[in-house]
Chain A
Amino acid sequence: MLLKGEGIAREFIRVSGGSNRFTAVQDTDIELHGGQLTVLSGRSGSGKTTLLNMLSGLLPPTRGRVLLDGEDIYSLNDAKLSRLRNRKLGVVPQGQTAIHSLTVRENILLPCTLYGNADAADEEYAASLMERLDIAALASVRPAELSGGELRRMAIARAMIRHPEVIFADEPTGDLDDENTAVVFEFLRSAAGDGAAVLVVSHEAAAADYADRRLTMTKGEIAEM
């Protein structure tokens, strides 16, 4: 399994400020391999989220291609790309991302119910994910009653439910304590151990202990550490 960014760049038009064409990510080559956990760090505004969105099929690059096992994902139509995101790419977005009308369990199973029904195996896997992430007791609670850390762990379980081939996590431990941070990294590590390619945006010093590879971003340019 290989996810490859070939010379991907993203420009934004800024309404105000000097030059109105602004490059958030410079032409970048990047490869994510199955079984590898990559940690990406960099200052705020350096383009980490922009890069992650492009790689995860959410933001078409201005230039360049994103290839999943050789297939240019942005050449797919929306329905196919959506389906691919659902089956193969797990994303833990930055910030809070709960669907408020659903319970924690329903939120986690949503990627399954979006395309049909959750079967017994899905239910079982959801239960085990909640168990490992220590939110099993909250299964039938609505997101409004959860803490920031609990919501974050719910989002991680949701990203994992389809056994994705690539996992993207954008600052997944931002509002977690040390103990839970360790739990989450163990977790992502074991997903990589199961063969997934994992890309984590993180500033945690502890992240280094789990990384196979470390990248850093500066003003839209990426470099190995």
Chain B
Amino acid sequence: MSLAFKNLRGKPVRTAVLVILTVLLALTVFAGTLTVSSLRSGLGSLENRLGAEVMVVPYEATTKKSFENILLQGSTGYFYMDKSVYDKISKTEGIGRISEQFYLASTSSGCCSIPVQIIGIDPETDFTVQPWIKKSFDKPLGDCDIVVGNDLNAFVGDTLQFYGTDCRVAAKLEKTGTSFDTTVFTNESTIRKMIRASIDKGLNNFKDIDPEQVVSCVMIDPAEGYTADDVVNDINLHIKKVRAVRTKEMISGVSDSLSGVSRIVGILIFAVWVLGGVILLLAFTMSVNERRKEFAVLRVIGASRGRLARTVMAEALTVGVTGSLIGIGLGLLIMLPFANAVEGLLSMPYLLPDIWSIAAIACAAAAAAIVTGAAAAAVSAYRISRLDTGVILRGDN
């Protein structure tokens, strides 16, 4: 067993304090970075999943924020506008791809203790949902087929009932970290049947609509040579009672809060880092200073200056490695199981990055903590290596 290790063991309280500091350092850097990176990939995932550059919804849906809340907050809701809007939009200049969607909220159902959002798509024209459900389900959605979000407690082959319609779970989606994790997707004719049933049962706030004559949302990608702004402006100018929004604009709120959170986390990491670094610096300085005489004795019995410095550095590295391993371990224990809780807490899209990115963040955090400790100790190591043995060892001073 090395002298450095014995020195650490010989002063358990001091060593524990140093290790705890390093744990805090590694934990903060790791958890903070992982949070920000999860929010980033959540936002990226949301951007991908929304899939269209422009969305057109009934005017009230934007004023009451119900549209935003469905997509960004994961709350449930629905709204409808006349189908003729779709035809008018199709005739607008600059439209590339276009498809309609239908929204409905379930009452609590077998799979889920909470109401879920149901989104109906047109398998013929859809270009936003099917490309990414393809990974789980590579066919057009048939009647009474549903595809469920990752957080829902339903599995392929299960039968779920919505408003009296039995639906077969055809696929379960990958985690997206967005409101789509609690969404059920189905095709146009199936959701029309459900909307009809919800109205008949008096469970729909829109009592007077004809499900065959409405749509909820129109998804648009502009044609070549046109920008999203062109399309949005054109629609908002010429078509009444609807509102076209740019997807980017809608999630700009999310990216704003993301940069807000990033900044706070950044400041937190910086503060803990500086504070931890300073405390470690003081702790190592004190620890080495109070052992000046012991280091002088090591010189007397034949330790070189380099050897003294290496002993101090070995103590620091032992503390650093131990502390950062514990810190990362704690971080994983906290961050992985509670990813959903964090998502709820921040009410922002939150998607853990893949395992390799997590590993990379863990390594970087560990390295940051170890390097900080080593840098703090390096000052003491240098000073102890300059030690004037002959001066220190005179009498009992």
Contacts and interface: CB of A to CB of B under 8 A. Distances in A.
A218 interface: no
Interface in B254-311: 293-294, 297-307
Nearest to A106: B6
B91 interface: no
Interface in B1-37: 3, 6-7, 9-11
B301 A91 contact: yes
Contact of B390 (A59, A84, A115): A59
Contacts of B389: 53, 58-59
B202 interface: no
A224 B176 CA distance: 92
B87 interface: no
B225 interface: no
Interface string A67-97: 0000000000011001111110001011111
A114 B390 CA distance: 20
A79 B394 contact: no
B6 A87 contact: no
B8 to A, nearest CB: 8
Interface string B197-241: 000000000000000000000000000000000000000000000
B393 interface: yes
B301 to A, nearest CB: 5
Contacts of B301: 85-86, 91, 110-111, 114, 158-159
A197 to B, nearest CB: 17
Given A53-B390, A78-B306, A94-B393, A99 B299 contact: no
B176 to A, nearest CB: 54
A100 interface: yes
B9 A114 contact: no
Interface in B40-85: none
Nearest to B7: A101
A223 interface: no
Contacts of B9: 101
Chain B interface size, under 10 / 10 to 19 / 20 to 34 / 35 or more: 20 to 34
A82 B6 contact: no
Contact of A111 (B294, B302, B388, B397): B302
A102 B298 CA distance: 12
Given A53-B390, A78-B306, A101-B7, A58 B294 contact: no
Given A50-B390, A100-B294, A101-B10, A79 B306 contact: yes
Given A79-B304, A111-B301, A100 B390 contact: no
A102 B393 contact: no
B15 to A, nearest CB: 10
- Interface centre among B7, B294, B302, B303, by most chain A C-beta atoms within 10 angstroms, is B302
B298 A114 contact: yes
Nearest to A79: B304
Contacts of B6: 101-102, 106
A91 B302 CA distance: 10
A216 interface: no
B395 A82 contact: no
A100 B293 CA distance: 11
Interface in A122-147: 142
A49 B299 CA distance: 16
A82 B394 CA distance: 19
- Interface centre among B301, B306, B393, B395, by most chain A C-beta atoms within 10 angstroms, is B301
Contacts of A78: 304-306
B396 interface: yes
Given A49-B395, A94-B395, A99 B298 contact: yes
Given A93-B300, A102-B3, A110-B3, 14 more contacts: A49-B395, A53-B389, A79-B306, A82-B299, A85-B300, A86-B301, A86-B302, A95-B393, A95-B394, A95-B395, A97-B293, A99-B298, A114-B298, A159-B301
Interface of A: 49-50, 53-54, 56, 58-59, 78-79, 82-87, 91, 93-102, 106, 110-111, 113-115, 142, 158-159
